[in-house]
Structure 1
Amino acid sequence: MNTVARRGASSPRELARIGDRISFVYLERCTVHRDANAITAEDTDGVTHIPSATIGTLLLGPGTRITHQAMALLGECGAGVAWVGEHAVRYYAGGRALTRSSGLVEAQATAWASRRTRLDVARAMYRLRFPDEDPTWRTRQELLSMEGRRLKECYKREAARTGVPWRRREYHRDDFSAGDPPNQAVTAAAQCMYGIAHAVVAALGCSPGLGFVHSGHERSFVLDVADFYKTDIAIPAAFDAAAEGEADVAARTRRLLRDRIHQTGLLNRCVRDIKNLLGYDGTRDTDTTDPMRDRVTLQSDGDRHVEAGRNYGGEIIW
């Protein structure tokens, strides 16, 4: 009997790089299915085809249903999938890694396991946010204070630029509509950035939970990454959306943010920043004999790696 499971899985090199993909696609009140290598969204207006390998993350809003075949296709393509609540303010699920290498997650775990290197990476993260300051000798408390001041100054600056009235940041977890329009826009922008960051983190094979600034949450590293771009991409887009009016501010924020992510090449930047922060150059993943083949190794003494798939019983490994 023919089944979808009999199809061969695509090689990572046959798929679109995460940096070349659409940052996110938001769908609501539709049924998501598949047609060959595309997913389809069917609603009262008809059927829309979306090439699956071009999606960074798929945000499924209220009223959506998705078939098993569509999820299998998205998983094979390494796309992130999130079931989100009204106005995309909740995130429920992540996707499969686009890479099949454990190199980046091993580099992440190594840096995270030591308190010293964990602080080193946290300082490097703040260096991305404050390119004109040297956080080398800053304590964690000093870094947090720097971040707090940076956000307050950003809100004040964007309010002055757009003419949008701003009192203070308010986030109502269980009632999105309780906030004023600029706060709704900032919340919508932040949640989109978290979804995008999660898609990149998952596609690279990193652990979402091993954070260097944030801690104690299953998406700590995702929150770390999303915060790199908060003041130069997310918050400006939110204030621009709020300046256009109060109606549909969340949807307008998502559209503006999507355009700016494409214009700034954010996905490529995000991939590059994560690799640089973790000191990862990918040399261990290279298979010069067959670049299309998955590389699986066994760990030996002295941090040596030998090829898997063979028996080393009684053999001395040098």
Structure 2
Amino acid sequence: MSTVGQHAALSPRQLTRTGERVSFIYLERCIVHRDANAVTAEDANGTIHIPVATIGALLLGPGTRVTHQAMALLGEAGASVVWVGEQGVRYYASGRALSRSSQLAEAQALRWANPRSRLAVARAMYRLRFPDEDPSGLTRQGLLGREGRRVKDCYRTHAARTGLPWNGRKYYPGDFSSGDAVNQAITAAAQCMYGVAHAVVTALGCSPALGFVHSGHELSFVLDIADLYKTDIGIPVAFDVAAEDEQDIGPRTRRALRDRIHETSLLDRCVSDIKRLLLPEASSVAPADQDHVALQGDRGQHLPSGRNYSSLNEFTGEAVLW
């Protein structure tokens, strides 16, 4: 097997476009290594080869080990690597964003930095969750109050649907077993949704910390995105699981939510919602594999990079010999 240093780095034009790749490959309980321009997954049943150029994101589940050479090849090929829990319902760490473009990250920072646009995004998030209401004109306090009432109504609705007694949401950090079965299921579902949202936010190159509803935490934006699907997916699954049996609530909730995420194509929906929230006026988002670098001018214009702007009055520079 040849060494990493003998392979030249691939340029974006040599790579398979993101839209033509497999969206993600999930591996667990195996050793991930490299053989030429493919990664290999080896377990007790043998070894399979995965052409690295076909991978959009590689999800490494429990029991996986990955070599340095495999990671180097994945990085060269522009693949995102995410360490996750079973079937991707937890997020632990990642190695690079899937996107080469900073468009979404810059849009997030720009809309977050202005109090008016930050509130506008918060209203748009509310509208995504409850499309039958118009939050225009609501203050932040108004949004929080109305959201709280809608979530309480959601709890009562699903309690009546499943026939479970409901005495309110009770959660004690660090003490999962202190709540009743349905509260345990809601907590487990929320943790899974945070993992899914964190994986998508990271893969898109956005900042997990710059939230529009939540604030002051390294995962504020992750919490914002996860809450978009609380009443639609998380809470109904939690009540269904608790209504079936009170045993093994945590594992059963994670498995049920895993299946629901797959059935509803939640990852695709999450990507689309983030793009709509951060770039509502844009007709399109830059391709994830775009490798475009520009310089910023005084009036917000983008100037070609790789040129020497030695004159302050003329932008007719010469090529840089670096």
Matching residue of 1:98:
98
Q: Give 5+ residue unaligned stretches, structure 2.
A: 317-322
Q: Which amino acid aligns with 1:271?
A: V
Distance of 2:60 and 2:159 partners within structure 1: 29
The aligned counterpart of 2:315 is 317
Q: What's the CA shift for 1:4?
A: 3.8
CA 1:81–1:114: 2 relative to 1, 3 Å? same
- Is contact 1:119–1:212 with CA below 8 Å preserved after alignment? yes
- The change in CA–CA distance for 1:41 and 1:142 in structure 2 (over 3 A counts) is farther
**Distance in 1 separating the partners of 2:188 and 2:60:** 12
SS at match of 1:313: coil
Identity rate, percent: 55
Tell me whether 305-314 or 186-195 shows the greater mean CA deviation.
Answer: 305-314
Could you say which residue in structure 2 is the equivalent of 1:174?
174
Q: Alignment partner of 1:301: what SS?
A: coil
1:299 aligns with 2:278: no
Note the C-alpha offset of 1:118. Answer: 0.8
* CA offsets 1:82-134 (integer angstroms, 9 cap, x no match): 4x6x9x99854344211111111111111111111111111111111121111
Match of 2:305 in 1: 308
Q: Which amino acid aligns with 1:100?
A: R
- Distance between the aligned counterparts of 1:32 and 1:11, measured in 2? 28
Residue of structure 2 equivalent to 1:117: 117
Matched, 1:239 2:239: yes
Go from structure 1 to structure 2 and tell me whether the alpha carbon gap of 1:208 and 1:19 turns closer, same or farther (over 3 Å shift). Answer: farther
Q: Is the 8 A contact 2:22 2:56 kept in 1?
A: no
Shift of 1:203: 1.4
- Given that 2:60 and 2:81 are in contact with CA atoms closer than 8 Å, whether structure 1 keeps it comes out as no
- 1:200, distance to aligned residue in structure 2 (A): 1.2
Farther off after superposition, 196-205 or 90-99? 90-99
Secondary structure at the aligned position of 1:81 is classed as strand
Please report the TM-score for the alignment, with normalisation by the length of structure 2: 0.78
Larger Cα Rg: Structure 1 or Structure 2?
Answer: 2
Unpaired segments of 5 or more residues in structure 1?
Answer: none
2:32 is matched with: 33
Do the aligned residues in 2 keep the contact of 1:164 with 1:243 (CA within 8 Å)? yes
RMSD: 3.7
Partner of 2:273: 273
Which structure exhibits the higher relative contact order, with contacts defined as CA atoms closer than 8 Å and separated by 6 or more residues? 1
In structure 1, the residue matched to 2:80 is 78
Change (3 A) 1:19 1:46: closer
Aligned pair count reads: 305
Alpha-carbon shift at residue 39 of structure 1 (Å): 6.5
Asked whether the equivalents of residues 101 and 290 of structure 2 are also in contact (C-alpha less than 8 Å), the reply is no
In the other structure, the counterpart of 1:141 is 141
